[in-house]
Each structure stands twice: as structure tokens, then as C-alpha cells.
Chain A
């Protein structure tokens, strides 16, 4: 059979029954559209839940000096002086599984500006500290490497300090505050972080270079702790092991000696995180499976019914000289045309509906190429298959059997 005749027959058949063709196509449009929308909602929520969990700092690792037992008397952590700046450099140089590492120093005291004063904490690290602890600059800037080296008297303020010491709308940049009677120049403010999981106000904090705290405030020679952000949230244990080995090397500990430091990971957060993301994965999987099955069955039904309904037509075409394969090709072509056009419209519909939902309901939406391809390919394939399959059966019938079909 000539291809052009095949196209003529298929297109004529689609046009002849516009309503049936429309409904068939609608089945596919809705199938594809629904699957894309469901996946968009599912993946959107998944991403937003994941990112809000990881913003809590699941990849944060703390190293502290081990509390030492000297002659039976338990000593405080600060008393043991095992962490030094060289450990930070050693980790920076050798650790493969970490993103960033910074010393951490803390102190607390009274901040004074003019007639106002406020009790607060200061904390600080190197230039990576903001990234590791997820502080974001709101105005001004963070301190530089140079300022760390020179133990510059500069500071970055949390919003609670700004409000309570300077007032709601004041611009503190460039002003000089006093902390423990030492003047510090304000070089920036960081964005509101809100309360942490323990209910502490994370904005009631002043950041400055760790060297400044060490040399000018606490006059310590050793680090309070080292903070590290791991590269991979799902490899925290491996990362922690690597850090342990490197610190033992750096501290030249012998085989028999205990660690003179403690490594703390956010174990609880991590285990929550992995169980939630596991759950989301299952949820997302079932959503896609269910919507694909529902969409697929809809398409399957309408295709199957519309082809079966046309068995007599197939009988007629066979009776007037059509070959089984000509007729099969016709139905296949019809199914391909309807499925592909319907599928494309369905993709469009999926985008429109997802974006509408995002706009109206304010749900996070994520449309990935994978989900579009998956739904388009699966639905179109089902459409073509269930157009082809009953047609194959019908076109293999004896013409008289097909003609007599009720």
C-alpha cells in the first residue's frame, strides 16, 4: 500500500469521527497532563522539604577537645588544649570529603553603643565560617582573610543586636560598638536566621574573626572547636572517620593512645533526614506509579473500546480488498497521530496546570525533564499499543467474522 494512501485513510478516519478522536486524544491529554502535574507537585514538595532540612545543617561536623581525666578529676573541655590552628590547615589540605573547615571561638559579654547596652555572644571563625554555619550577609560584608590575619577589630551583627542596640531602621554599618570595652567597627549585618532547633535566637550574635576573639577578648592560645561542613550529606560517617584519622596524624597520636578530641555530627538530624527523604522517595514513586497507571488505564480503555467498536469497519475494509497489514498500519498510524498530538498537548497542559497550582496555592512545583519524558513516553506508548493491539486482532480475523462482529 502506498504511504500517501495510508495517510489519507488514517486522516479521513480521524476526521470522520471527530468526537471519538477528540475523546481518545482527551484521554491521552489528561493522562499525560495529570502525570506531569502529580510529579511536579511531588518533586516540588520533595525538594522543598529536603532543602529546608538541609538548611538546618545536617552536614555540619564539630570537633572539640576531649575532656580529660587528670588524676581522677574530670576537667572541663576548655581546660584541654588539644586543637590548634595547624589542625585546621591540615584538614583543609588533606581532607577530601569536606567542603569547608573553620576554627570556632566564642565568648560572651556586654555590647555597648551610645547609651544602649545588650548582653550577647560573640562567635567567629575564618572567612568560610559564614558558609559553614549558613549565615547570609544582609548588608555590608563579611570579614576578609586579611582582617583575620591581623585580628582586626571588625564585626558583623545579627538582626536582634541591630534592633536592640541601634533601633529598627538604623544603619549600623561603619559605626563603632564596644564589646568588653574594646571598640569594634561594624562592617556588616547578617540575615535573620530565626530560632534554632533548641529555641535559641540565632540572631542574637556578633561575628568576628576567630583571631580577634582569641587575641583581644579571651586571650586563649588554643581553639575552642573546629567546625566543618561535609561535602556529602549521605557520607557523614565516612567524613567523620576521615577527619578522625587526619587529626590523629596531625596530633601524632600513637596506636594505643586515645583521641584527644571529640567529633560530633548532627546524628539525629541526619537520621531524620534520611528517613524523611526515604519516605519522600517512596511517596513520589507511588504517586508516579499510581498516576501513570490511572492515566494509562484511561488511555488503554478508550483506545481499546474505540478500535473494538470499529471491527465491522475493519471487516468491510478487508472485504473490499484491504490486506490485514494495510488495515493494521492504518490503525497504528491513527493511534500514533492521536497519541503524539494528545501527548504534546498533555505536556503543555501539565505545565499550565502545575504553574497555576504554584501561583494559586503557593505550592512548590518542580517539573523535571525526566518526569515530562516519562509521562509522555509511557502514555504515548500505551496509547499506541492499545490502538495497535485490538486492531491487530481484528485485522487478523477472517473478513466475514469481522463483518459479523456486533
Chain B
């Protein structure tokens, strides 16, 4: 693969947290490359460092040591405001708890990242937000208030918000963590759909049931990568949903 395809490249990344006198070594020398079009699941037991890595990849947090190139620029050298610009231009983030603005319409929530980008006109902002909501299947819910939506719908709004700025990668931390199985699968179907349209995705989960919908599985233990493989028996979420329906049918 050519160098141009590298979206993320990290070398010997460490992250230490000082807690009192102790140092928690959350990441202990991570090497990782993610290329354009990948759909990566980051797995591992609780406390193994998944979220820590994702937050660093998302430029929400800084590494203690090591280098991180995002789409060609070395993040380590960037100042706060430049990091904000990177987040605004190149990254989309999906949280476990959705983090939508309450009492605000889906459309306005999705428009929000573009409000911080002075080069986007208000007309273009509206168009892009509408397109993103259509892409996540919420064409009919644009004017609904975020707190009047189901968890699955809220997460869809959050995903629409993460893609509205055409990021080079979407990072999702336990994006299905608060949802039931069916809704989780629906969200995964959406991610698969987006990935097929060419969007690169980094996805933290501790459920292998969810990870089987991705293309690549990275497994963490104690701040180290212990496994990095292509997904075996990659499943299609749409089919999984169909099977669920059959199971429901059988149960009844």
C-alpha cells in the first residue's frame, strides 16, 4: 500500500497517568497503522487501554511519549488551537453516551461542528447536515429534539454529527455500549454502510459479537497490542438483524 493511504501511524506510543504517587501505565509502546478505508475494532478487557488510545487518536488527549501522524501531520508538535483545527477538519468522534446538546433539534446538533468552521457558509452547513441525517436514516426526524429520541436514534444523530465534516476517520468509543442487541446491530449496519462508502472507522468495543462486523480486530491487554488480525468470518449486520428477526419469530 502506498504511503498516501496511511491515515494513522503511531510509533512506540506511551501514556502514563499520575495518580497520587503511582504512575498508571495505560499504554506501553503501541505501534499501529490504519489505512484509508479500514474498519478497525479495538478490543480488550476493561482497563486495557482502549479508550486511552482512542482519545489520543481523536486528539482529545495527548500521548506521554511516542509519535502520532494523522493524515500526514505530526500531532505531537501541534498546539491546542491547531489540535482543535485538526479535530474540526479531519476527525469525527462518537461517544458511548451520545453527548448531544439537549433540547436541540437533530439538525442543529449535526450542524454544530460546522459552526466552528468559518469556511462553511450557513447554506452549505444546512445542506451537509441534512445529507448526513439522510445518510444515517433520520430523514424524517431532522426537527425532532434530541431528548425526545430513542437511544438508537440519538446515536444515529451523533454519527451524523461525526460525518458531517467529511472526516478522514471516525472514532467511536463503545458506540453501541448503551444499546440493546438489535439496535446495536442497526448501528453496526450503519457503520458498515458508511465504511462501504469509503469512510475509515476506528471502533472500540469489548463485545466480539459487535467486532465481527468490522474488517480488522486489534486486541489489547495491559496497554499492549496482543493480537492484530483480519476479522474471521466477517458478518454483515443487515443479515444478522434478519437472523435476529427469525429468532424472535422462533421464540414466540
Give chain A's interface secondary structure class: helix
Knowing A319-B60, A322-B84, A400-B60 are in contact, say whether A16-B115 is a contact too (CB < 8 A).
no
Partner of A8, one of B55, B80, B115: B115
**B81 engages A321 (CB within 8 Å):** no
Contact with A along B75-110 (1 / 0, CB 8 A): 000001100110111010101000101111000100
Given contacts A398-B61, A400-B60, contact A321 B101 (CB under 8 A): no
- Please name all residues of chain A whose beta carbon is closer than 8 Å to the beta carbon of B112 when the two chains form the complex: 317, 320
In the complex, what residues of B have CB within 8 A of residue A317's CB?
A: 112, 116
A323 at the interface (CB under 8 A from B): yes
Kindly state the separation between the CA atoms of A313 and B99 in the bound complex, as whole angstroms: 8
Given A2-B118, A313-B101, A400-B55, the answer on whether A320 and B113 have CB atoms closer than 8 Å is: yes
A99 interface residue (CB < 8 Å to B): no
A73 close to chain B: CB less than 8 A: no
| Complex alpha-carbon distance, A321 and B91, angstroms | 8
Q: Is A281 an interface residue (CB 8 A)?
A: no
**A320 to B60, Cβ gap below 8 A?**
no
B117 contacts chain A at the CB level, 8 A cutoff: yes
B178-215 residues with Cβ-Cβ distance < 8 A to A are none
Residue A318, interface by CB 8 Å:
yes
CB atoms of A322 and B101 under 8 A apart:
no
Contact status A9-B115, CB under 8 Å: yes
Q: Give the complex CA separation of A16 and B122 in angstroms.
A: 20
Complex contacts, B91 vs chain A, CB 8 Å: 321
**Smallest Cβ distance from A327 to chain B, in angstroms?**
9
CB neighbors of B among A291-327 (8 A):
312-313, 316-326
The answer to whether the Cβ of B62 comes within 8 Å of any Cβ in the partner chain is: yes
Q: Hey, which chain B residues are within 8 Å of A274, CB to CB?
A: none
A364 an interface residue at 8 Å Cβ cutoff? no
Contact, CB under 8 Å: B60 / A5: no
Nearest-neighbour CB distance to chain B for A341, whole angstroms, equals 21
Q: Are A321 and B61 in contact (CB under 8 A)?
A: no
Q: Is B61 a contact of A320 with CB atoms below 8 Å?
A: no
Cβ of B165 within 8 Å of any chain A Cβ, yes or no, is: yes
Pair B99/A16 contact, Cβ less than 8 Å: no
> A403–B84 contact, CB under 8 A?
no
Q: Known A321-B85, A323-B81; judge A399-B116 contact (CB<8 A).
A: no
Tell me the complex Cα distance, A2–B124, Å: 15
Asked if A322 meets B116 with Cβ closer than 8 Å, knowing A16-B104, A400-B60, the reply is yes
| A170 adjacent to chain B (CB < 8 Å) | no
- Pairwise interchain contact B161-A12, C-beta atoms closer than 8 A: no
Whether A320 contacts B116 by the Cβ 8 Å rule is: yes
Report whether B108 and A12 are in contact in the complex, using a CB–CB cutoff of 8 Å.
yes
Q: Is A1 an interface residue (CB 8 A)?
A: yes
Task: Kindly state whether residue A69 has any CB partner on chain B within 8 Å.
Answer: no
Whether, in the assembled complex, A17 has its beta carbon less than 8 Å from a beta carbon of chain B, the answer is yes
Determine whether B58 belongs to the interface, using a CB cutoff of 8 Å to chain A.
Answer: yes
A18: nearest residue on chain B (CB-CB)? Answer: B103
- Please tell me which one of the listed residues A8, A16, A323 contacts residue B103 in the complex, with CB atoms under 8 A apart: A16
Asked, given contacts A16-B103, A399-B60, A400-B55, whether A320 binds B87 with beta carbons under 8 Å apart, the answer is yes
Whole-angstrom distance between the Cβ of A205 and the nearest chain B Cβ: 77
Q: Which residues of the other chain, B, contact A12 by a CB distance below 8 angstroms?
A: 104, 108
Cα–Cα, bound, A5→B101 (Å):
16
B116 touches A326 (CB 8 A): yes
Q: Are A321 and B113 in contact (CB-based, < 8 A)?
A: yes
A403–B95 Cα distance when bound, in Å, is 10
Which A residue's beta carbon lies closest to that of B165? A321
Q: A321 contacts which chain B residues (CB < 8 A)?
A: 84-85, 87-89, 91, 113, 116-117, 165
Shortest CB-to-CB span from B96 to chain A, Å, is 11
Residue of A nearest to B82 (CB): A323
* Most B CB within 10 A of own CB, among A9, A16, A321, A326: A321
How far is A139 from B80 in the complex, measured between Cα atoms in Å? Answer: 83
CA distance A400 to B122 in the complex (A): 29
Contacts of B116 in A (CB 8 A): 1, 5, 317, 320-323, 326
Identify which of B81, B95, B161 contacts A324 (C-beta below 8 A): B81
B163, chain A: closest CB distance, angstroms:
12
A24 to B198, CA, bound (A): 47
Q: Do A324 and B80 form a contact, CB below 8 Å, given A12-B108, A316-B99, A319-B93?
A: yes
Which residues in A have their C-beta under 8 angstroms from that of B87?
Answer: 318-321, 399
CB distance from A256 to the nearest CB of B (A): 87
Chain A residues in 8 Å Cβ range of B88 = 320-322
**Assembly CA distance A320 to B87 (angstroms):** 6
User: A356 to nearest B CB, angstroms?
Assistant: 37
Question: Which chain A positions have C-beta within 8 A of B104?
Answer: 12, 16
Known contacts A12-B104, A319-B93, A321-B89; decide if A398 and B115 are in contact (CB<8 Å): no
Residue of B55, B60, B101, B113 contacting most chain A CB atoms (<10 Å): B60
- State whether A1 touches B118 (Cβ < 8 A): yes
Question: A390-403 vs B: 1/0 string, CB under 8 Å?
Answer: 00000000111001
Residues on the A chain within 8 Å of B84, using CB: 318, 321-324
Q: Provide the A88-118 mask, 1 if CB < 8 A to any CB of B, else 0.
A: 0000000000000000000000000000000
B18 to chain A, nearest CB (A): 14
Interchain CA distance A4-B120 in the complex, whole Å: 12
How far does the alpha carbon of A1 sit from the alpha carbon of B113 in the complex, in Å? Answer: 12
Please measure, in the bound complex, the distance between the C-alpha atom of A398 and the C-alpha atom of B103, giving whole angstroms. 26
Most B-side CB within 10 Å, residue of A4, A5, A17, A319: A319
Q: Using Cβ atoms and an 8 Å threshold, which residues of chain B touch A312?
A: 99
A-B contact pairs, 7 of them (CB 8 A): A1-B116, A9-B115, A16-B103, A321-B89, A321-B91, A321-B117, A403-B99
Q: Which 8 residue pairs are nearest across A and B when measured between Cβ atoms?
A: A321-B88, A320-B113, A323-B84, A400-B60, A400-B61, A399-B60, A321-B87, A322-B116
Q: A319-B58, A321-B91, A324-B81 are in contact. List 5 more A-B contacts (CB 8 A).
A: A317-B116, A318-B84, A319-B87, A321-B84, A323-B81
